[in-house]
Structure 1
Amino acid sequence: MSENKLFSLAGRRALVTGASKGIGLAIARGLAVQGASIVLNGRDAGRLKEAQTQLAQEGIEAEISAFDVTDQEAVIASVKDIETRLGPIDILINNAGIQHRAPLDQFPRKDWDRLISTNLNSVFFVAQAVAQHMIPRQRGKIVNICSVQSELARPGIAPYTATKGAVKMLTKGMATDWARHNLQINGLAPGYFETEMNAALVADEKFSAWLRQRTPAARWGKVEELIGAAVFLSSDASSFVNGHILMVDGGITASV
């Protein structure tokens, strides 16, 4: 197989959750450039339409599918609709996620439940629904978006860290169960990236100075720098990679 075909996504369809902005939108754009047909997911149909329009202005066609990834029945119905209306889902990028910062001893139960529902339950719900279609076809790629917090903790975000650690182990469990069906399930773990979710931290010069000192690359990551890893994990280039967590973090987890 030539190098071009090895990384080509031509003829593949990718569903990207949480794709109306940030990391999800950047990855969707990157997969499309490599030839994939993309389906953008989010809860807000209006924001999805804006993302679709933005991509169209760049010459990229995208379908949209608005559903709540924390609602298992809605997930099952929407995945079935995509499969019926558009065709097989070959690639799933499980990206939907939220953050909530608060001292652990004062962390509200409702926010704990919301983090677990959005960051962990949704990964299971969407992956299971998609895998039920992939398994009979004996092929498929699932990329769960983990985090540097799948390995490291910081004050004020212990529940988020718990969800991302769980996504890491769920990814390994999915690979253990589904690799025999020629599904490759891996995790992509961003470090600190300039996104809307991190806007307050980016604007905090004290935190940014700490991050530059703590990270061997000495800077924040750009969302476009996640595309190569996402393409690799979505393509034939990773045909024997399973249950792996690929860190894209500027070296932060490699150093003390």
Structure 2
Amino acid sequence: MSGTAAVDLRGRHALVTGGARGLGASITRRLARAGAAVTVADVRRGLAEKLCAGLTEEGHEAGVAELDIRDPAAVAALFLERDERGQPLDVLVNNAAVDVSKPIEHLTSEEVTRVITTNLLGPMYLCLEVYRRMVADGGGHIVNILSTASNRTWTEAGPYSAGKSGLRAFTHTLFKEAQRDCPGIGVTGIMAGGMETPFVLDRFPDADTSKLQSPDIVADTVLYALSVPVGSVVPELVVVPRSESSWP
């Protein structure tokens, strides 16, 4: 597509969770093509390696970190390793998410735990590691991918909506603390509506794709948030298909 925000990320390091496919892959490509050295953090190592190989062939810098964001020890170890390599992080995109589309009466505790841990606690673990380092470095940008479910819920979306609503509240708090702690840190929450990605189509194979947006559109909003000059910041963006039923 041709509407990508103009932003030069050369010399900057970015990490995208759940970056191996769907929206995460679109964000990874956008960041790499804007010049960032991108790390794809994902449990799907094979898919991540394939994506990074393609970007490397294009002349971009991209690598893989096999990571389960539900494991705080693994998250901490990843950043200790980056510290040892002298590789600070300039951009974090918390994109990884899962869902279990069931009525509440049929959910198991294991399913609820998996959704909340992935969609809320995982991003928080990443932010805990990244934010303090960005404060020490004097700058950086954290982008948390939210959902219209963080504003308005629907049936069969209990854990998903709870997790995304919690992440939105956490993002707002982090934004306020960055205003206090370090003017060089940007914090942005992006509320995305339905997208034509495996996240939707694997669960709803009969979905009307004409009512879904391209993940590239949402990836462009990430670049837009990163393009705002120091002194201003975009705290929250909403991007939905024209036919989105879950907004406002």
TM-score, structure 2 length as denominator? 0.89
Give the aligned partner of residue 10 of structure 2.
10
1:221 equivalenced with 2:223 (yes/no) = no
For the 8 Å contact 2:148–2:247, the answer to whether it is kept is no
Query: Cα distance, 1:238 vs. partner?
Result: 6.8
Give the aligned partner of residue 66 of structure 2.
66
1:235 equivalenced with 2:227 (yes/no) = yes
- RMSD, matched Cα: 2.2
For the 8 Å contact 1:6–1:236, the answer to whether it is kept is no
For the 8 Å contact 2:32–2:55, the answer to whether it is kept is no
Pairing of 1:160-175 with structure 2 (within 5 A): 160-175=160-175
Secondary structure, aligned partner of 2:176: helix
Query: Deviations along 1:18-75, whole A, 9 cap, x unmatched?
Result: 1111111110110111111111101233332122123234443301111211111110
Query: Structure 2: any 5+ residue segments left out of the alignment?
Result: none
As a proportion of its length, which structure holds more helix? 1
Amino acid at match of 1:102: K
Amino acid at match of 2:200: N
In 2, Cα distance between the equivalents of 1:227 and 1:146? 13
Query: Deviations along 1:153-202, whole A, 9 cap, x unmatched?
Result: 12111110111111111100111112231211111121000111111466
Query: Deviations along 1:218-240, whole A, 9 cap, x unmatched?
Result: x3101111122101222344752
Give the aligned partner of residue 29 of structure 1.
29
Give the aligned partner of residue 89 of structure 1.
89
Give the aligned partner of residue 195 of structure 2.
193
| 100-109 or 81-90: bigger deviation | 81-90
In 2, Cα distance between the equivalents of 1:239 and 1:10? 20
Pairing of 1:38-57 with structure 2 (within 5 A): 38-57=38-57
- Figure out how many residues of one structure are paired with residues of the other and give that number: 241
Query: Structure 1: any 5+ residue segments left out of the alignment?
Result: 213-218
TM-score, structure 1 length as denominator? 0.86
Give the aligned partner of residue 216 of structure 1.
none
Query: Deviations along 1:60-94, whole A, 9 cap, x unmatched?
Result: 33011112111111101102212432621000000
In 2, Cα distance between the equivalents of 1:9 and 1:63? 16
Identity %: 27
Q: 1:239 to 1:80 in 2, by over 3 A?
A: farther
In 2, Cα distance between the equivalents of 1:88 and 1:221? 33
Secondary structure, aligned partner of 1:169: helix
In 2, Cα distance between the equivalents of 1:58 and 1:194? 25
Secondary structure, aligned partner of 1:198: helix
